Amino acid sequence: MNNPFSTFEQTGVIPVIAIDRVEDAIPLADALLEGGLPLAEITFRTAAAAEVIARIRQQRPEILVGAGTLLDAESVAIASQSGAAFGLAPGTDPRVLEAAQQQGMPFAPGIMTPSDLSLTLPFATKVAKFFPAGIIGGPSALQGISAPFSHLGIRFIPTGGIGEQTLADWLRLPMVLAVGGSWIARSEDIRAGNFRQITRNAQAARAIVAQVREASA
């Protein structure tokens, strides 16, 4: 399996999505593609998640689709069987990390403290989710927490409480691989069939990524 984290770095933003109905999977995928974000993290917060991943993987293979909120080994196995190209979790559980390794699934555990990050080291983790990023001190908190580990080359995906207004602040940090964005494809927009808004949100996020990278070039 190719490393999906390189795609994360290219796009700069990962749509984090809770989707209730399988029939919305392809309209959602098309909205993201039109908006220039060919990837999605489908969270295991709904009963539809695994089938949504499978449907997108089968019908829109140009989208890199993975699973989020993987809280136990069983969920990791189901996500892998559905075709998830990667997995993420809000916290660090060695049992989940072991399950991901057994499945050969590229995986980013969630961390909030140096102790959390230390727990990932035996698994040679090179990417971690920083969660909930927006309410525990913002970019400066990540800078401080990650500093003692900077020589290990770990990159981070800040997620939670981030929006268009603060996206650029996170993207300017060199240790940030990409930002997880739940504002791009909100559950209420998916349920309402408001896929044009999802496309607009994706386009706006991509524009911010481009502006930050142009300024730092």
Domain edges within the chain: 5-216
Cα 15 to Cα 19, 42, 198: the distances in Å are 12, 8, 10
Of 3, 75, 85, the closest CA to residue 40 belongs to 85
pLDDT by 10s per residue, the chain, length 217: 478 999 999 999 999 999 999 999 999 999 999 999 999 999 999 999 999 999 999 999 999 999 999 999 999 999 999 999 999 999 999 999 999 999 999 999 999 999 999 999 999 999 999 999 998 889 999 999 999 999 999 999 999 999 999 999 999 999 999 999 999 999 999 999 999 999 999 999 999 999 999 998 8
| pLDDT for the residue numbered 78 | 98
The encoded tokens of residue 171 equal 């993207």
Catalytic residue among 41, 62, 74, 214: 41
**What pLDDT digit, counting tens, does each position of 20-46 carry?**
999 999 999 999 999 999 999 999 999
| pLDDT for the residue numbered 217 | 80
Catalytic annotation present for 126? no
Catalytic residue among 129, 164, 188, 214: 129
| pLDDT for the residue numbered 16 | 98
CATH superfamily entry for domain 5-216: Aldolase class I (3.20.20.70)
| pLDDT for the residue numbered 182 | 96
Catalytic annotation present for 41? yes
